[in-house]
Homo-oligomer: A and B are copies of this chain.
Amino acid sequence: MREVVHPGGKHGATLILGIGELTTNAPGTPGATDDDPTGVVHDAAVLLDGDRVAWTGPERDAADGVEEALGRAPDRTVDAGNRAVIPGFVDSHTHLVFAGDRAAEFEARMAGRPYAAGGIAGTVAATRAASDAELLAGLRRLVGEALAQGTTTLEVKSGYGLTVVDEVRSVRLAREMTDEVTFLGAHVVPPEFEGRPDEYVDLVCGEMLAACAPHARWVDVFCETGAFSLAQARRVLLAGASAGLGVRVHANQLGPGEGVRLAVELGAASVDHCTYLSDDDVAALAGSWAGGGPGTVATLLPGVEFSTRQPYPDARRLLDAGAVVALASDCNPGSSYTSSMPLCVALAVREMGMTVAEAVWAATAGGARALRRADVGSLAPGARADLVVLDAPSRVHLAYRPGVPLAARVYRAGREVAHSSAR
C-alpha cells in the first residue's frame, strides 16, 4: 500500500483510493446497487475528514467528491492496492474486566474431563483480588488486540466483581476504554449470596445500581435457569431503566426460556445468545422491528459454541423471519476467550447459515443496531471514520481464509490505529 502525504497539507483529510471492494452498509451510496443492504462499491474511494467519513463512491468520481465535500485537496492519499475495505467491526458483547484465565478448565472441558474448580466463581475471586492497575492492564491488552483485528467499537460489561465496590470499579475501568459500558451486576449470584438470590437482586437493584449507573450506558442480566429467573431479570432491567440505562439481556443460551420475550417486551436494544428459540421468540424478535424500529436485535455469539461444543444458533431462521441479527465475540475467560470478529464471521458462514454479506453486516451494522448507534457500523458520509483495509480483494476472505489475520490497516475516528507489520 502506498501513501503520499501532500507537501504543505495540513493533517486532517485522508483520501483512500484503489479500494477493490468497498462495503459501506449504506445502500444509497453512489455506485452501489439499490437492493444491496451492504452498499458495496467496486473500484471505490473513501474520503475521511477529521474523525468523520466525508464522502464515499466510485474512484472515478473521487475528484468531484473531494471538491464537493472538502473544497480543497486532501492532506494525504492512501492507495489501498485493490484491497477490500469494510466498516470497523462493532463488537457489542464482551466481558473484558477480569483477572486470571481459565485455560485449565477449557482444556478439561475439551478433553471431556471433569474440572471441579471451574465456572465463573474462579474469575470472580481473581477479579476481586486484582488491583485496579492489573485489571486495567488486561483490559487495555484485549482492547488493543481487538483493535488490531479491526474492532473499532467495543461494548464492555462488568459482572466479575459482584460486590458494590468491585462492580463500580469494573464499570469505571471499562469507561476508561469505551463509551459502551454495561452494568451486569446480575451476571450470576455470587457465592456469599448462595441460596438467597432475591437478596442479591435487592443489592443489584439498590446500592449497586446507584453506584454503577453513573459510569454505564446499559443494564444487562443473565436470564437463564441457574442464573436469574424471569421475575428477577425483570426487576433488574426495570430498575436499570429507571436509573436511565438502556436495556440488554443474556437469554436462551443453554435452553429455552422466556428471556427473549422479556427483552422484546421491555424494548431491549439487544438480546444475546438466542441459541434455543421457540417460534414465538423468533416472531417476537422479528415483530419488534415491524413499526420501523428500533427493535430488539438478536445478537449471536458463535465463539461460545465453538469453545463449549454447544449447538450453534440458527441465524438463517432469524433472518428468514425478518429479525435483525448481530454477531459479537462475547470475549470472556470462561466460555469464549476470542476477541476475533473475523472468526465470528467465519463461524457464522460455516455453521449458522449466514451468507458472507449477512455475516459482515451483522458484525458491523448489526452490532451498531444492537448498541443503538447511528454513527458507527457504516461508511455513509457523517459516520465516524472507522474502517478496516483487509489484506484481501474481497470481504469473502474473512470466511474463506479462517484464522488468517487479514486486517492490514485499521482506522478509528479517522486515525490509523493499527498497521500489520508483516505485509
> Which residues of A come within 8 Å of B, CB atoms?
101, 103-104, 106-107, 110-111, 141, 144-145, 147-149, 303, 306-307, 309, 337-340, 342-344, 346, 349-350, 355-356, 391, 393-394, 396-397, 399-405, 418-423
Q: Are B403 and A340 in contact (CB under 8 A)?
A: yes
A105: nearest chain-B partner, CB-CB: B400
B residues less than 8 Å from A404 (CB atoms) = 145, 149, 338-340, 343
Partner of A106, one of B303, B309, B339, B400: B400
Partner of A403, one of B391, B403, B418: B403
A390 CB, min distance to chain B CBs, angstroms: 12
B residues less than 8 Å from A144 (CB atoms) = 422-423
Partner of A340, one of B355, B394, B402, B422: B402
Q: Are B145 and A422 in contact (CB under 8 A)?
A: yes
Q: Are B422 and A148 in contact (CB under 8 A)?
A: yes
A399 to B309, CA, bound (A): 13
Q: Are A103 and B355 in contact (CB under 8 A)?
A: no
B residues less than 8 Å from A349 (CB atoms) = 110
A230 CB, min distance to chain B CBs, angstroms: 33
Q: Are B103 and A405 in contact (CB under 8 A)?
A: no
Name the residue in A107, A344, A402, A418 with the highest tally of chain B Cβ atoms < 10 Å from its Cβ: A402
A349: nearest chain-B partner, CB-CB: B110
Q: Are A396 and B106 in contact (CB under 8 A)?
A: yes
5 tightest A-B CB contacts, nearest first: A343-B403, A340-B403, A148-B422, A103-B396, A421-B421
Name the residue in A101, A107, A111, A401 with the highest tally of chain B Cβ atoms < 10 Å from its Cβ: A401
A401: nearest chain-B partner, CB-CB: B337
A351 CB, min distance to chain B CBs, angstroms: 9
A351: nearest chain-B partner, CB-CB: B309
Partner of A103, one of B307, B400, B403: B400
A343: nearest chain-B partner, CB-CB: B403
B residues less than 8 Å from A418 (CB atoms) = 421-422
B residues less than 8 Å from A356 (CB atoms) = 107, 110
A309 CB, min distance to chain B CBs, angstroms: 7
A402: nearest chain-B partner, CB-CB: B338
B residues less than 8 Å from A397 (CB atoms) = 101, 103, 337
Q: Are A107 and B355 in contact (CB under 8 A)?
A: yes
A-B contact pairs, 16 of them (CB 8 A): A103-B397, A111-B355, A141-B423, A144-B423, A145-B391, A147-B422, A148-B422, A149-B404, A306-B402, A307-B400, A337-B401, A338-B403, A340-B402, A343-B402, A346-B403, A405-B405
B residues less than 8 Å from A420 (CB atoms) = 421
A91 CB, min distance to chain B CBs, angstroms: 13
Partner of A149, one of B338, B405, B421: B405
A339 to B404, CA, bound (A): 6
Q: Are B396 and A107 in contact (CB under 8 A)?
A: yes
Given the known A-B contacts A343-B403, A405-B405, are A393 and B350 also in contact in the complex, defined by CB atoms under 8 Å?
Answer: no
B residues less than 8 Å from A396 (CB atoms) = 103-104, 106-107
Q: Are A337 and B307 in contact (CB under 8 A)?
A: no
B residues less than 8 Å from A405 (CB atoms) = 148-149, 405
A149 CB, min distance to chain B CBs, angstroms: 7
A418 to B423, CA, bound (A): 11
B residues less than 8 Å from A343 (CB atoms) = 402-404
B residues less than 8 Å from A101 (CB atoms) = 393, 397, 400
A389 to B355, CA, bound (A): 36
Q: Are B350 and A110 in contact (CB under 8 A)?
A: yes
B residues less than 8 Å from A422 (CB atoms) = 144-145, 147-148, 418
A356: nearest chain-B partner, CB-CB: B107
A396 to B402, CA, bound (A): 19
